[in-house]
Amino acid sequence: MSGRDPDRRRALLDAADRVITDDGPEASMAAIAAAAGVTKPVLYRHFGDKSGLYQALADRHVRTVIGRLRPWLAAPGMDPRGRARAAISVYLDLISANLNLYRFLFLRAGSEDTAIRSRMTSLVRGLGEELGAVLAAEGAVADPVRAQVLGHAFVGMVQTTGDWWLEHPEVDRTQVVEGLVDVIAAAVSGARAPHAAGKD
């Protein structure tokens, strides 16, 4: 169908990105449509409805963040602290550089639409599962269930702390990164300790 043309959808999403970046999380659908040179009904038709537009934006940007983080989760030859530091730094850089888009998706779209909130939660949960699998596969956490618990805990902790940091720009980014790295390193070390003690 011409209404679902991938190139046209991409152009509409580009227009949405520009408006949200300029106007912030309160950007109107009318402004997005105007920037794209279409009416609101035409804008929605390309995505099914307003919820479909939200989902397309979420998929575009949340997947971009995950795609940038994924290489660091299993980066070969890096110690756990270095890996955590790199991944956290990438995440904080991405959300601070795209502040209005981040707030639009996680605050406005997520609060307005339960489907989009569930979609973003699912994407974030998938990253936690990936991290848990890496922790178990590399032997950083011997118990696979505990590895999953820690994987989800680390992802949630970094996301929540990132939200807080965005509201407190006076806090030095390095202090935030190192504080998170310390917690992650301590948790992983603690997860190893019982197994190591049992071997003595």
User: Which sign, positive or negative, has the C-alpha torsion 41, 44, 49, 50?
Assistant: negative
In this structure, the chain runs to a length of 200
For residue 34, the model assigns a pLDDT of 95
Task: Return the structure tokens found at 34.
Answer: 């105007």
**Residue 192, pLDDT score:** 66
Number of CB atoms found within 10 A of residue 153's CB: 16
pLDDT of residue 146: 95
Q: What is the pLDDT along the chain (200 residues), one digit of tens a residue?
A: 344 688 889 999 999 999 999 999 899 999 999 999 999 999 988 988 888 888 899 888 888 888 888 888 777 777 888 989 999 999 999 999 999 998 898 888 878 888 888 888 888 898 899 999 999 988 889 899 999 999 999 999 999 999 999 999 899 999 999 999 999 999 998 876 554 444 44
Token couple for 53: 């537009």
Provide the sign of the torsion angle of the four alpha carbons 31, 32, 38, 41, taken in this order. negative
Distance CA 111, CA 129 (A): 24
Amino acid at position 148, single letter: Q
Amino acid symbol at 56: A
139: left (phi over 0), alpha (psi -120 to 50) or beta: left
Smallest Cα–Cα separation from 59: which of 145, 14, 119?
119
Which pLDDT does position 198 carry in this prediction?
A: 45
CA 29 to chain centre: 23
